Amino acid sequence: MSKAPRRPADPRHRRVDPPKAKRAQRAHGALPPGFVPRPQADGSFRPRWIPQPAPRKAGWRSGSLVDDKGVYLSYGAAIDMAREINAAVAAWKAGDETPPHLAAFAPALSSVQTMAVAVGASIGALETAWLESNEYLSKSAATRRDYKNKLGRLLEAIAGYAQRPLASDAAGRARMTRDLATLRGLSIMTLEPVQQGDDDLFDPLYEAYWALHQHAGVNQASGVLAVASVWLNWIRKRKRREVVNWAKEVERETPPGRIRPATLDELRALIAAADANGYEDVADAAILSFDLSWSAIDILQLTEAKVLPGYRAHTARQKTGRKGGTPMTFIGRNRYDAILARRKDDKVQPLKAADRRVIQLKRERDTTSKRGMEADSEHLRRRFSDVRDLAALACPSIADLTFADLRDTAWTIARQAGLSDDQLASRTLQSRKHIKELGDRHYGEIGPEIADQGKDLLETYYRASGLAL
């Protein structure tokens, strides 16, 4: 008996398995992110809010959850405040401003308490007043530039820009300009440490120091705080006696002294890289700086008219103000002759010998709009950095050498050669007292060269006097 053909299944009668039950999600706890209750032995709480990694990296700060009198909030009120802070973080990311009562947790300027500003008592007004004061203007040009730059870095760090935005970050640069203008409009008293709760102290200068320590290094952080101390002392004495030198109270690391003489192999590699790659101006400056033991700005101000007969470079040092006629050795003399010969061939001759600088920097790589010797000094250091990177390909140890290290190199080699303190002072144009201090502070280790010279002198005396034991 044949089977009846099978009817196609009616899709309406297709078996459908019941849906699988979804796994119940574990309910999140009621505590907001960052809330830390910190229970105490007596049953009380000292609640605190600690930012998550991303907000912390953006500058948000941990802090105790207290009321406007500094008393810890109750458990429930602290949770509400932690939620409010988290909402402020999200709003801040979207570009909104942080509510004033949460400023202690927010980055940069939001953490500086705004105060009423008396006439002439704003940070910006006192910055300008100091930069126009007799005390500041009496300093050398190099010191004035250093003070101004470091005070600017202090304000940048307080405003939250210890690490400056990149030049390509136009929005970041505009934001920094705006925030610095805001900071300069605040009262100088906003730099005073503020107590927050029983165990918290917000100190703008402390925060600025450690931000610079992280992003710029211990030397710059310490230097910036030292200038802040000078500035605050001036304000206390000359403007507002109630201002305290808060910078002096900030504990800081003692920066290591940098004495980094180059080896002869490094010097040769540096000059070879400069001459081979079109940086003859850098080689000129490096050789004369080493030979005369002068700084970059001193070398740059040397004109042909100040090189007297006998190859004596006669000028006053910018930093010390001391004058002298330092004679070049054959190393400097040979390079000076090469400079003049090259200049004659290039037919580059300013009208007056008094205006004809020995070192004439090539400007094609320069992007600055500044003028004057300070701009030239910055330009020389940038070109030196390029040469150093080229030299490091053949001599890797040179990678950390700076132009300022050439003076240390000259000092060290001169001491090894047996120059007396007077002879060293005559070349470096330092005072005899400073020469001794340099020797004790930086070159305290007596090397074998000096010891051998002492032995040779004694043996010569022994033989001349017929001494034999």
Listed in sequence order, the residues at least 6 apart from 374 whose beta carbon sits closer than 8 Å to its beta carbon are 141, 142, 145, 297
Give rounded-to-5 percent helix, strand, coil for the chain.
55, 5, 40
Task: Give the length of the chain.
Answer: 469
Residue pair 288/359 in contact (Cβ under 8 Å)? The answer is: yes
For the chain, what is the mean pLDDT? 77
- Measured CA to CA, the distance from residue 336 to residue 283 in angstroms comes to 11
pTM of the complete model: 0.48
Higher pLDDT, 452 or 281: 281
pLDDT band, very low/low/confident/very high, at 154 (cuts 50, 70, 90): very high
Q: Which of 29-43, 126-140, 399-413 is predicted with the least confidence, judged by mean pLDDT?
A: 29-43
- Measured CA to CA, the distance from residue 425 to residue 412 in angstroms comes to 13
- Topology of domain 264-454 in CATH is hpI Integrase; Chain A (1.10.443)
Higher pLDDT, 80 or 366: 80
- Edge-first strand order for the sheet with 35-36 is 35-36, 48-49, 63-64
pLDDT over 90, % of the chain: 15
Q: Which of 25-34, 59-68, 225-234, 290-299 is predicted with the least confidence, judged by mean pLDDT?
A: 25-34
Q: Which of 30-44, 219-233, 372-386 is predicted with the least confidence, judged by mean pLDDT?
A: 372-386
Per-residue pLDDT of 342-392, as tens digits, reads 887 765 555 565 678 888 888 654 444 344 555 577 788 888 988 998 999
Beta strands (DSSP E) in 164-282 are 194-196, 200-202
Helix (H, G, I), strand (E, B) or coil at 83: helix
Domain ranges of the chain: 35-102, 116-249, 264-454
Per-residue pLDDT of 447-457, as tens digits, reads 566 666 666 76
pLDDT band, very low/low/confident/very high, at 275 (cuts 50, 70, 90): very high
Higher pLDDT, 80 or 425: 80
pLDDT for residue 369? 38
Which of 81, 61, 62 lies closest to 73 in space, CA to CA? 81
- Measured CA to CA, the distance from residue 50 to residue 32 in angstroms comes to 11
Higher pLDDT, 156 or 113: 156
Higher pLDDT, 390 or 238: 390
pLDDT band, very low/low/confident/very high, at 285 (cuts 50, 70, 90): very high
pLDDT for residue 459? 75
DSSP-assigned letter for residue 100: G
Helix (H, G, I), strand (E, B) or coil at 316: strand
Of the ranges 42-56, 102-116, 429-443, the best mean pLDDT one = 42-56
